[in-house]
Every structure is written in C-alpha cells, then in structure tokens.
C-alpha cells in the first residue's frame, strides 16, 4: 500500500465518519461541527487529485463560510442544540431502503463502466489551467456566477432582515 492509497483511505474514513455524524448526530451543533472534518476530507481528496485551486476554494468557502453560517442559524433557532426535540422523522426505514438501493445501483452500474482513458496528463500547474478555462470557454459561467451571488445576497438580506 503506497502513500497515495494510505492518504486516500485516511481521507475517505474522515469524510465518511464525518458525514455519518452529520447525518446521525442528535445534537445539531455536533452535526454542524462534524461537517468540518468531512469537508476538509474532501479538500484532502482534491489534493490527491491534483486540484489545488479547488482545494483552496473548498476550504475557504465551505469550511470557512458555509459551516459557520449553518452554525449561526442553528444557534439562532433551535435553542442552541435542538436536543429538546426529536430530530429524526418517521420515514427512516424507507429512506434507508431508498438510499441503500441508490448506492447499490450506483455501484452496480458505475463499477462496470469502462471509463475512458485520460486524453493526456493534467497540466503541470492547474490553477492556471482552471483560469484559462474560466476565461476562455467558461467566461459566461464565470460572469453568471457573480450575478447569481449578487441576486442571492440581495435576496437573502431582504428576507433575513428583521423587520420592525
């Protein structure tokens, strides 16, 4: 087992355990905090996949912004932890079945696909490649993303603002 594999399995464990806690934890704060290792694990995977720029953004936005936002809201709404009330709804068994089925389905199908060979090696410094991509074919996506952010923020502020 080489280092890559070792790193992969460690990160995978981190992601999955974190994810499980996010999903299972009765204490919502715990759940939110568990997001951090999960998202960081995913960031680690990005490193393994040579996606350094994505890793950076993942850590910045996800871990830095989203998780904090979520925690905020939990603290604002459910009396900090949400422990007072039942967190799980009545469709657990069904959900388990559906999710299990879906995962098995994904495995059954995806593991049989003869995934296409790479058209070449990754470019040496891929933040640059990402940048080129963003500026050349995906300039429109880039610009639209900024519009989306603008619209979301404006709307979120209007909605979230407490009115007199």
Partner 1 sequence: MIGLPHYLVLSSLLFGMGLYGVLTRRNAVAILMGIELMLNAANVNFVAFTKFVDPTFVRGHVAALVIITLAACEAAVGLALIINAYRHLETVNVDQVDLLKG
Partner 2 sequence: MNWADLRWLVPELVVAAAAVALLGADLVLPADRKRWLGGLALASLVAAGAACAVVLTDLGGLGAPGVRVFADTYTVDAFAVYFKLVALAAVALVVLVSLDYFPGRTPHLGEVFSLLLFSGVGLLLMASASDLILLLLSIEFVSLSSYLLAGFLKRDPKSNEAGVKYFLYGAATTGVMAYGFSLLYGLTGSTILYDIAARLDRAGPAAYLAVGMALAGFGFKVSMVPFHQWTPDVYEGAPTPITAFLSVGPKAAGFAALVRTLSIGIPLEQVNWPVLLAALSAVTMTVGNLLALLQRNLKRMLAYSSIAHAGYVLIALAAWKSAWALQGLLYYLLAYLFMNLGAFFVAMVAAEGTGSDEIPDHAGLSQRAPWVAGAMVVFMLSLTGIPPTAGFFGKFYLFAAAVDAGLLWLAALAVANSVISLYYYVGVLRALYLMPPAAPGPVPVPAGLRVGVLVALIGTLAAGLYPEPVVTFVEVARRLLGS
Partner 3 sequence: MARLAWLIPLFPLAGYGILIFRGRALGDRAPYVAIGAMALSAVLGWGTFLEQVLGAPPFVWRAAWAVGGERVITVGYTVDPLSSITVAMITLVGGLIFVYSVGYMHGDPYYARFFAFLSLFCAGMLTMVLANSFLLMLIGWEVIGLCSYLLIGFYFRRRSANLAQMKAFLTTRVGDTLMLVGIMALFWQFGTLDYQTVFEAVREGAEKASAVVRLGPWEVPLVTLTALLIFGGPIGKSGQFPLHVWLPDAMEGPTPVSALIHAATMVAAGVYLVGRAYPLFFFTPHHEALAWVAWVGTVTALMAGLIALAQDDIKRILAYSTISQLGFMMAGLGVLGYTAGLFHLLTHAFFKALLFLAAGSVIHAVHTNNIKEMGGLWRAMPVTFWTFLAGFLALAGVFPFAGFWSKDEILLEAYHHNPGIYALLTAAAFLTALYMSRLVAYAFFGRYRGPEQPEPDPWLPEDYARAGVRGPHHGHGAHHGPHESPPVMTVPLVVLAFFALVAGFVGIPGTGPEGGSWIHHFLKFEGFEEAGIRAPSFSWPLALRSLAVAFAGVGVAWVVYGARWVRSDQVREWVGPLYPFLRNRMYIDTVYAWVFVRGGLALAAGLRWFDVQVVDGLVNLVGWVTVLVSRLHRLFDTYVVDGLVNLVGGLTRGLGILLRPLQTGRAYNYILVAAAGVAIIVVVSLWKL
Q: Interface with partner 2 by CB under 8 A: which residues?
A: 105-106, 109-110, 112-116, 119, 135-141, 144-145, 147-148, 150-152, 154-156, 158-159, 163
By a kind-dependent CB cut-off of 5 to 8 A, residue 83 interacts, out of partner 3, partner 2, partner 1, none, with none
Task: Tell whether residue 87 is a contact of partner 1 (CB under 8 A).
Answer: yes
Q: What is the full DSSP assignment across 16-45? A: HHHHHHHHH-SSHHHHHHHHHHHHHHHHHH
Return the H-helix or E-strand segment holding 107: helix 92-110
In angstroms, give the least distance from the CB of 74 to partner 1: 6
Among 77, 87, 91, 145, binds partner 3 (CB under 8 A): 91
Q: Which does 21 bind (CB under 5 to 8 A by kind): partner 3, partner 2, partner 1, none?
A: none
- Any idea which residue has 């355990």 for tokens? 17
| 93 near partner 3 (CB under 8 A) | no
Answer for the pair 52, 123: CB distance below 8 angstroms, yes or no. Answer: no
Among 5, 73, 102, 151, binds partner 3 (CB under 8 A): 102
The CA distances from residue 118 to 91, 114, 115, 121, 150, in Å, are 42, 12, 9, 7, 37
């Amino acid at each position: 087992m080489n280092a890559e594999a070792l790193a992969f399995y460690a990160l995978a464990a981190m992601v999955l355990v974190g994810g499980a806690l996010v999903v299972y934890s009765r204490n919502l704060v715990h759940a939110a905090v568990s997001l951090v290792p999960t998202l960081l694990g995913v960031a680690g995977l990005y490193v393994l996949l040579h996606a350094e720029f994505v890793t950076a953004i993942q850590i910045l936005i996800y871990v830095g912004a989203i998780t904090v936002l979520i925690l905020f809201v939990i603290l604002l709404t459910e009396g900090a932890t949400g422990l007072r009330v039942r967190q799980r709804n009545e469709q657990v068994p069904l959900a388990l079945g559906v999710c299990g089925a879906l995962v098995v389905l994904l495995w059954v199908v995806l593991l049989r696909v003869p995934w296409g060979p790479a058209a070449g090696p990754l470019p040496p410094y891929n933040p640059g490649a990402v940048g080129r991509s963003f500026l050349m074919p995906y300039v429109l996506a880039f610009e639209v993303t900024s519009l989306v952010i603008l619209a979301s923020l404006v709307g979120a502020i209007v909605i979230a603002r407490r009115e007199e």
